[in-house]
């Protein structure tokens, strides 16, 4: 949790998955979300947290959600499709589910160890605000969030820059999202710098995020008849963290018939599941920007199983992938993943049509990411008797332009964000230059020890 990425560049995984028998899963039925979360995550944390403290952190994390259900499940008529609404947290995207908890777990641990950590991250939109909301005002943590100047939506930018907490540092980089990511990576690759500031990452490669996301797969499946009845899930995907958490739930014993991976026109995942070959291409902007990715960072975790959990061969394959831009798995491995994963892509016109269709048929307004899931879910119902859960990953008001284009109606921001457009913003500019970034972090951290000036405030 504290390290994020392993020092050798690999990703952390549990040596073995905790197992839940059919009887144990049946015993989880009817539990409130917070208690279910405790039972599912307990085996992962071991004795790193005592029970009472862990329960309390989970309770506090989900008290920040608009509904005590945390993740309401809504049937779409009698179609057999269900929306699992994961967007009732403070920043209106599913990332709050994991980050609200991770922020508290980090703070709790750092406080106990009397330590401070510095988060450096890059965001193309949703991750930034969710991470900032998760750690704002914590004395144990500073967060430096890089975003490409002028390339995130106004709602997304304001959700970050209107947080004026002293430990939050928003940085608008003159460059693309990839430039931001490279800057963040360069900080981590400088081991002296990394150690000096106890750098940590809260992007989706942090295993604690995967852990927290496993819970809602159990939650939804239990509501739909698990363990007696299997359930299918469709996941609008980018970095593959969300759907990987579903895979983990299945490894733990949850009866999931199959997964459908939805992508927008940036379809590296869909192409992989069709051909067994992963090939990098350029990223094109779409209406579902949180899925505009070139490489899915969590996919390496699934590949680990496809490489028979052999870390050495996987590391070689990943190195080759980074230099050649291509990775191919064998026919057996491909057949294995295809048994469990279907995949499909939806372009921008298809996304708008889906938002309109869902509203017309079922009276539900969905966001563009969820809309991708809504389409591919219907294309891959392997068995009509098995309920299909579509993960609704963002609130429609987070992407008002696309939703208005599709439906003619601009979705209003929920009450607690109603004044977002009037709040003061604070943000620093940065050239695409890693030395400039490092000296900014050095200075801010020195200043935090001896507070002096603050960065500029604009309204
Ligand atoms: C991050 C995000 C996704 C993609 O999730 P991954 O875990 O990266 O696959 C999909 N939809 C929304 C709204 C997101 O914020």
Ligand 1 atom with minimal separation from the 394 CA: 13
Residue in the block written with tokens 């939050």: 168
What confidence category does residue 458 fall into, taking pLDDT thresholds of 50, 70 and 90? very low
Ligand 1 in reach of 286 Cβ (< 6 A): no
Tally of CB atoms within 10 A around 139:
12
pLDDT > 90: percent of the chain = 83
Q: How far apart are CA 390 and CA 371, in angstroms?
A: 9
The residues with which 144 forms a beta bridge, in sequence order, are: 120, 169
Task: Express each pLDDT in 264-310 by its tens digit.
Answer: 999 999 999 999 999 988 889 899 988 988 888 899 999 999 999 99
Residue 122 backbone phi and psi in degrees, to 5:
-120, 145
pLDDT confidence of residue 176: 84
Q: pLDDT: is 426 or 415 the higher one?
A: 426
Residue 459 has pLDDT above 50, yes or no: no
Task: Give, in order, the Cα–Cα distances in Å from 288 to each of 39, 188, 429.
Answer: 33, 28, 26
Mean pLDDT computed over 370-392:
98
Whole-angstrom distance, CA of residue 249 vs CA of residue 285: 32
Does 432 or 416 have the greater pLDDT score?
432
427 pLDDT tier (thresholds 50, 70, 90): very high
Hey, which residues are catalytic here? 95
Residue 73 or residue 297, greater confidence: 73
pLDDT per position as a tens digit, 119-129: 999 987 788 99
Mean pLDDT of 414-440: 94
Distance 94 CA to ligand 1 centre (A): 7
Confidence band, pLDDT 50/70/90 cuts, at residue 416: confident
Q: For residue 291, give the DSSP letter.
A: G
Boundaries of every domain in the chain: 73-90+213-413
Q: What pLDDT score was predicted for residue 453?
A: 46
Residue nearest to ligand 1 atom 14, measured at CA: 290
Q: How far is the CA of 393 from the centre of ligand 1 (A)?
A: 7
Average pLDDT, the chain: 93
Question: Dihedrals φ, ψ of 411, to 5°?
Answer: -70, 130
CA of 139 to the centre of ligand 1 (A): 29
pLDDT band at 212 (very low <50, low <70, confident <90, very high): very high
Question: For residue 369, which atom of ligand 1 is closest to its CA?
Answer: 11
- Confidence band (pLDDT; 50, 70, 90) for 151? confident
State residue 424's pLDDT score.
96
For a substitution probing ligand 1, which of 237, 240, 289, 400 has the most ligand atoms within 8 Å of its CB?
237
Minimum-distance ligand 1 atom for the alpha carbon of 237:
9
Distance CA 264, CA 237 (A): 9
What gap in Å lies between CA 379 and CA 394, rounded to an integer?
21
Q: Residue 124 has what pLDDT? A: 78
Would you tell me how many other CB atoms lie within 10 Å of the CB of residue 281? Answer: 12
CA distance 116 to 197: 8
Whether 206 is in the pocket of ligand 1, judged by its Cβ within 6 Å, is no
pLDDT at 340: 97
Range among 243-247, 334-338, 414-418 with highest mean pLDDT value: 243-247
Give the Cα separation of 362 and 371 in Å (integer).
13
Q: Is 247 in the pocket of ligand 1 (CB under 6 A)?
A: no
| pLDDT (mean) for 328-351 | 95
Look-up: residue for tokens 């608008």?
172
Q: Does position 394 have pLDDT exceeding 60, yes or no?
A: yes
How far from 395 is each of 89, 94, 102, 370, 453, CA to CA, in Å? Answer: 10, 9, 21, 9, 37
Find the mean pLDDT for residues 442-459: 66
Lowest mean pLDDT among 35-44, 151-160, 218-227, 435-444: 151-160
Strand, helix or coil for residue 405: helix
Nearest CA to ligand 1 atom 1: 290
> What pLDDT score does 266 carry?
95
Partnered with residue 282 across adjacent β-strands are: none
Mean pLDDT, residues 331-348: 95
Q: 188 versus 346: which is more confidently predicted? A: 346
Write down the pLDDT at residue 450.
63
Q: Please give the pLDDT value at position 158.
A: 95
To 10 degrees, what angle do helices 33-45 and 207-223 make?
140
Share of the chain above pLDDT 70, in %: 98
Atom of ligand 1 lying closest to residue 213 CA = 7
**In the CATH hierarchy, which top-level class contains the domain 73-90+213-413?**
alpha beta
Alpha-helical runs (H) found in 235-347: 241-251, 268-275, 299-306, 311-324, 331-340
* pLDDT for the residue numbered 451: 53
Please compute the mean of the pLDDT values over residues 44-73 and round it to a whole number.
96
- State how far the Cα of 371 lies from the Cα of 407, in Å rounded to an integer: 13
Ligand 1 mean position to 235 CA, how many Å? 9
Q: What are phi and psi of 200, to 5 degrees?
A: -140, 160
Omega of the bond leading into 227 within 30 degrees of 0 (cis): yes
Residue 255's pLDDT is 98
Q: What is the pLDDT of residue 452?
A: 46
Q: Report whether pLDDT(455) > 80.
A: no
* 154 compared with 454, residue with greater pLDDT: 154
Paired with 147 in beta bridges are 172
């Amino acid at each position: 949790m504290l390290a994020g990425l392993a020092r050798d560049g690999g990703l952390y995984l549990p040596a073995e998955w905790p197992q839940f028998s059919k009887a144990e899963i049946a015993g989880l039925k009817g539990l409130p979300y917070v208690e279910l979360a405790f039972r599912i995550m307990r085996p992962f944390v071991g004795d790193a947290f005592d029970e009472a403290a862990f329960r309390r952190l989970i309770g506090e994390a989900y008290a920040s959600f608009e509904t005590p259900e945390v993740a309401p499940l809504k049937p779409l008529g009698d179609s057999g499709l269900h929306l699992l609404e994961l967007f009732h947290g403070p920043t209106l995207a599913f990332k709050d589910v994991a980050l609200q908890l991770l922020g508290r777990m980090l703070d709790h641990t750092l406080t106990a160890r009397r330590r401070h950590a510095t988060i450096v991250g890059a965001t193309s939109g949703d991750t930034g605000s969710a991470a900032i909301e998760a750690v704002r005002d914590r004395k144990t943590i500073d967060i430096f969030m890089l975003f490409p100047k002028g390339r995130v939506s106004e709602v997304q930018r304001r959700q970050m820059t209107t947080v004026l907490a002293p430990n939050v540092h928003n940085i608008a980089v003159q460059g693309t999202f990839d430039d931001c990511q490279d800057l963040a990576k360069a900080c981590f690759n400088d081991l002296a710098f990394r150690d000096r500031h106890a750098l940590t990452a809260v992007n989706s490669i942090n295993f604690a995020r995967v852990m927290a996301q496993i819970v809602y797969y159990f939650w939804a499946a239990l509501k739909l008849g698990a363990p007696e009845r299997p359930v299918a899930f469709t996941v609008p995907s980018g970095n593959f963290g969300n759907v990987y958490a579903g895979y983990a739930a299945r490894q733990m014993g949850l009866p999931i018939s199959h997964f459908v991976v939805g992508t927008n026109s940036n379809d590296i995942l869909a192409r992989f599941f069709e051909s067994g070959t992963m090939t990098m291409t350029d990223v094109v902007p779409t209406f579902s920007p949180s899925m505009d990715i070139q490489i899915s960072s969590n996919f390496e975790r699934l590949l680990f199983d496809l490489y028979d959990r052999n870390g050495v061969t996987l590391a070689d394959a990943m190195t080759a992938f980074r230099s050649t831009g291509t990775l191919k798995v064998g026919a057996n491995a491909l057949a294995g993943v295809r048994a469990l994963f279907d995949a499909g892509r939806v372009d921008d016109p298809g996304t708008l049509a889906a938002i309109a269709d869902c509203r017309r048929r079922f009276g539900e307004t969905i966001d563009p990411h969820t809309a991708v899931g809504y389409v591919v879910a219907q294309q891959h119902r392997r068995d009509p008797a098995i309920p299909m859960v579509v993960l609704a990953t963002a609130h429609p008001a987070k992407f008002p332009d696309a939703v208005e284009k599709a439906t003619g109606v601009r979705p209003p921001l929920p009450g607690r964000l109603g004044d977002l457009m009037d709040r003061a913003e604070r943000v620093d500019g940065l050239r695409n230059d890693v030395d400039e970034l490092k000296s900014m972090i050095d200075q801010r951290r020195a200043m935090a020890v001896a507070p002096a000036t603050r960065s500029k405030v604009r309204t």
